[in-house]
Chains A and B, each alone.
Chain A
Amino acid sequence: GAVVSQHPSRVICKSGTSVKIECRSLDFQATTMFWYRQFPKQSLMLMATSNEGSKATYEQGVEKDKFLINHASLTLSTLTVTSAHPEDSSFYICSAREHRGSFEAFFGQGTRLTVV
């Protein structure tokens, strides 16, 4: 299957700093990428959907100024958590689809963010 690489896998940052998480599709071009947040013992909550070259579409309740998403190329999307706070600590997972209407999404291995 297709490979989606997410980096870093773990990051610890100080409160008030910003953290960037990268999501790369290694062997295919991803026209659409999704960012999810997963709380302990809970499901994945879709944060935003981004299509290459256009602005991300954020789900209700997700602050776009806090979670900046950039999908500048067909193989790379980034999520920047700005001015991080301890409540932003979570497991963030990206996924990518090769083209619109594709039924299969491939997931990255996730990033464990801890804000201290």
Chain B
Amino acid sequence: GEDVEQSLFLSVREGDSSVINCTYTDSSSTYLYWYKQEPGAGLQLLTYIFSNMDMKQDQRLTVLLNKKDKHLSLRIADTQTGDSAIYFCAESISTSGYSTLTFGKGTMLLVSP
């Protein structure tokens, strides 16, 4: 089945690290993604990880993947107020020759000064 779960809300202070967690159920996922959505806007791809990787680092972002537990996390180092947004985890599942994305409900990150 396809089900992506995320915690709904996270509040941190500026300068701290943020960790947003996600669990998924489909073990055939090929790619897992993190998207950022600012108010009233579309989605911006932040980073992605291929399913045979354990970790990916990209500047302030670190993605950890535990495939056995189907757990994905996004760590944002030195969180800034501009990082306040909704973060969506998504898994990519291939069907009929193309892949579709299944999204979690999103985690609202609030960064206070």
Contacts and interface: CB of A to CB of B under 8 A. Distances in A.
Interface stretch (B10-18, B52-60, B70-78, B101-109): B101-109
B41 A109 contact: yes
Contacts of A107: 35, 42-45
B7 interface: no
Given A44-B103, A103-B48, A104-B48, A93 B42 contact: yes
Contacts, number: 60
A110 B105 contact: no
A36 to B, nearest CB: 8
Interface in B17-33: 30-31
B97 A103 contact: no
A110 B86 CA distance: 15
Measured as residues with beta carbon below 8 angstroms from the partner, the interface class of chain A is: 20 to 34
Contacts of A101: 94, 97-99
A53 to B, nearest CB: 14
A100 B96 CA distance: 10
B97 A104 contact: no
B34 interface: no
A4 B4 CA distance: 25
A46 B30 CA distance: 18
Interface string B62-83: 0000000000000000000000
B112 interface: no
Contacts of A61: none
Nearest to A106: B45
Contacts of A108: 42
Contacts of A75: none
Interface string A1-41: 10010100000000000000000000000001010000001
A105 interface: yes
Interface of A: 1, 4, 6, 32, 34, 41-44, 46, 49, 51, 91, 93, 95, 97, 100-101, 103-110, 112
